[in-house]
Amino acid sequence: MTDYDRIESAIRYLDSHRARQPDLAEVAAHVGLSPSHLHRLFSRWAGVTPKRFLEFLTVRHARKLLDNAESVLSAAYGSGLSGPGRQHDHFVAVEAATPGEYRSRGAGLRIGFGTGDSPFGPVFVAWTGRGVCRLSFAGARDVEAEKRGLRRTWGRALLEVDDSRAGSIAETIFSAPFDPDAGPLTVHVRGTNFQLAVWRALLRIPTGAVTTYGRLAEGVCSARAARAVGNAVGSNPICFLIPCHRVIRATGESGNYGGGRSRKRCMLGWEASRRYVRLR
């Protein structure tokens, strides 16, 4: 069992027994560790204690983030910075498929793909010569399903497996947000103009911040388009890099996520923890 597996199992256990609020010893026993080992696990993985990490997962903390979201996002738009983290649209550049690529579904493109590791479990990575074109949380058993998804988008491209390169790309992706010296990463996406507008809007949510579907819709077109924006968010082909996990419900609940609700909560907690450590 990896560090992430134990973290996710602990979060699932706490969510299932929320009303009873199990103590640290009970949670540690559930994941097969002593309380001191669980403490070290959270410190190693997230940089903070279990208590601090769990505070970042509360609805109260999420509502506080939402209360501050307008000023945080305004500052990010104005300065291009997000305090100790990096604003996502400054380290991720979007390359949209050309009209010819869009119509031909990638005819003539060579796409490499493979699996790698991340702080949140195994990932499937695919890339063209212009950037990452797919990133999803998937184990070895899911590779064929991910390849089918890749072919639905880039149906006429040539696919080539390269797990070594995929692992290197994954390592860069998940270290870049907190590395001020990391160069920009490029994503190569095929989508409608509306989808591209939504995905670019997601990039403007700073690390450690969140927004709601309604607020995201206001930034793209109109609050009345929240449902259409939600569909575009759900069709995001590049998780984490295009941070759809930072969109939550107006109530402060994290809501659903293609990679699993528990993983979304772990991602939000991990980002909040990393930001907290850098602020200290």
Catalytic residues: 244
Question: Distance (Å, rounded) from C-alpha 8 to C-alpha 133?
Answer: 27
The two counts, helices (H) then strands (E), for the chain are 13, 8
Pairing outcome for strands 185-189 and 92-96: parallel
Q: Pull the structure tokens for residue 234.
A: 């759900």
Q: Which of 240, 11, 258, 246 is nearest to 118 (CA)?
A: 240
Helix, strand, or coil here: 185? strand
Helix, strand, or coil here: 186? strand
Quick check: 162 and 112 in contact, CB under 8 A?
yes
Q: Which of 3, 13, 64, 2 is nearest to 262 (CA)?
A: 13
Question: Distance (Å, rounded) from C-alpha 149 to C-alpha 239?
Answer: 14
Pairing outcome for strands 131-137 and 123-128: antiparallel
Bridge partner list, 161: 113
Contacts (Cβ under 8 Å, ≥6 apart) of 220: 194, 197, 198, 201, 229
Maximum separation of any 2 CA atoms in the chain, in Å? 58
Question: Distance (Å, rounded) from C-alpha 126 to C-alpha 57?
Answer: 31
Binning the chain into helix, strand and coil, the percentages to the nearest 5 are 55, 15, 30
